[in-house]
């Protein structure tokens, strides 16, 4: 992964930092479950005065980060976000390096294959290869999932040492996304122990309601030093994931993640 450390800079005035913080909070309001928002909705979410939010929204629209429909008085993400997202994805070396191995998994099991990275206390899907099946799972890139829910998230959680895991659980509210979500510290710790012992994670629809009939199997991708830098996972409908199919997915994921780690060491 590319890690860029910005050069040290003088502290910005408090007012400028506050404006940037508020602009970032406005942008964060938009997502899979909130693609369109009005000014009153944004004010309610942010607990900020209408005039303040409106001024920042106007600037974000002028810069192309947001778009405004005057006939409906609704804001949506603008094309600047898409341009920068494409630039970000193109700059992720692991995405390019992983593609041949993702393709090998997809071709072997004919199910959707996803590559994810850790982003703080969350996991983000950064690439996928779709199954050729008539009914296949489709994954939205860029969606942030907490580390306690979903197979790909939990392989990152299993990579933490015990102190880091305890710190994570202490600062994290275990919110239920559906009845399958792990919502107790004991359940999360038990899953982590299981993932560590068996070397992969298997979950059944823990993150979204639409995934309630979906099985996910995930493995860790390590860099040459042994650090976990990504998760490689398969997502498939439950009705195709019998025991034999799950074993096949697990085995090919473990094989190709090891091969990907070997290729990173050769670079």
CATH number at residue 185: 3.30.450.40
Name the nearest CA neighbour of 264 among 218, 216, 217, 232: 232
Of the listed ranges 25-29, 44-48, 183-187, the least confidently predicted one is 25-29
Range of the domain at 26: 14-83
Residue in 111, 112, 119 with CA at minimum distance from that of residue 1 = 119
pLDDT value at 206 more than 90: no
Query: Which pLDDT does position 6 carry in this prediction?
Result: 47
- Least confident window among 8-17, 33-42, 241-250: 8-17
Classify residue 175: in a domain, yes or no.
Answer: yes
Percentage of the chain beyond pLDDT 90 is 51
In a domain, residue 2? The reply is no
Q: What is the CA radius of gyration of the chain?
A: 20
Contact 96, 127 (CB under 8 A): no
Residue ending a domain, among 53, 83, 113, is 83
- Report pLDDT for 212: 47
Q: 83 vs 28, which has greater pLDDT? A: 28
Mean predicted confidence (pLDDT) in 88-100: 76
Report the alpha-carbon distance of residue 103 to residue 111 in Å, rounded: 10
109 shares a domain with 43 = no
Q: Is residue 256 classed as helix, strand or coil in its secondary structure?
A: helix
């Amino acid at each position: 992964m590319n890690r860029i450390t910005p050069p040290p800079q003088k502290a910005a005035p408090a007012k400028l930092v506050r404006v940037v913080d508020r602009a970032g909070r406005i942008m964060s309001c938009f997502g899979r479950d909130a693609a369109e928002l009005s000014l009153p909705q944004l004010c309610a979410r942010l607990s900020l005065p209408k005039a303040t939010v409106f001024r920042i929204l106007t600037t974000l629209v002028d810069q192309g980060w947001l778009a405004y429909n005057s006939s409906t008085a609704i804001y949506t993400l603008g094309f600047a976000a898409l341009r920068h997202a494409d630039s970000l994805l193109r700059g992720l070396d692991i995405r390019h390096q992983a593609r041949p191995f993702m393709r090998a998994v997809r071709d072997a099991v004919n199910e959707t294959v996803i590559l994810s990275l850790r982003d703080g206390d969350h996991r983000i899907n950064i690439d996928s290869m779709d199954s050729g099946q008539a009914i296949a799972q489709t994954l939205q890139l860029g969606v942030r999932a907490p580390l306690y829910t979903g197979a790909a998230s939990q392989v990152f959680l299993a990579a933490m040492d015990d102190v880091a895991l305890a710190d994570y659980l202490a600062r994290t509210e275990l919110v239920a996304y559906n009845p399958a979500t792990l919502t107790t510290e004991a359940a999360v710790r038990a899953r982590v122990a299981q993932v560590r012992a068996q070397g992969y994670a298997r979950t059944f629809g823990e993150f979204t309601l639409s995934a309630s009939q979906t099985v996910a199997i995930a493995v860790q991708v390590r860099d040459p030093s042994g650090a976990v830098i990504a998760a490689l996972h398969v997502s498939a409908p439950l009705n195709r994931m019998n025991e034999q199919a799950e074993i096949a997915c697990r085995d090919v994921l473990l094989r190709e993640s090891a091969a990907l780690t070997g290729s990173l060491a050769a670079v």
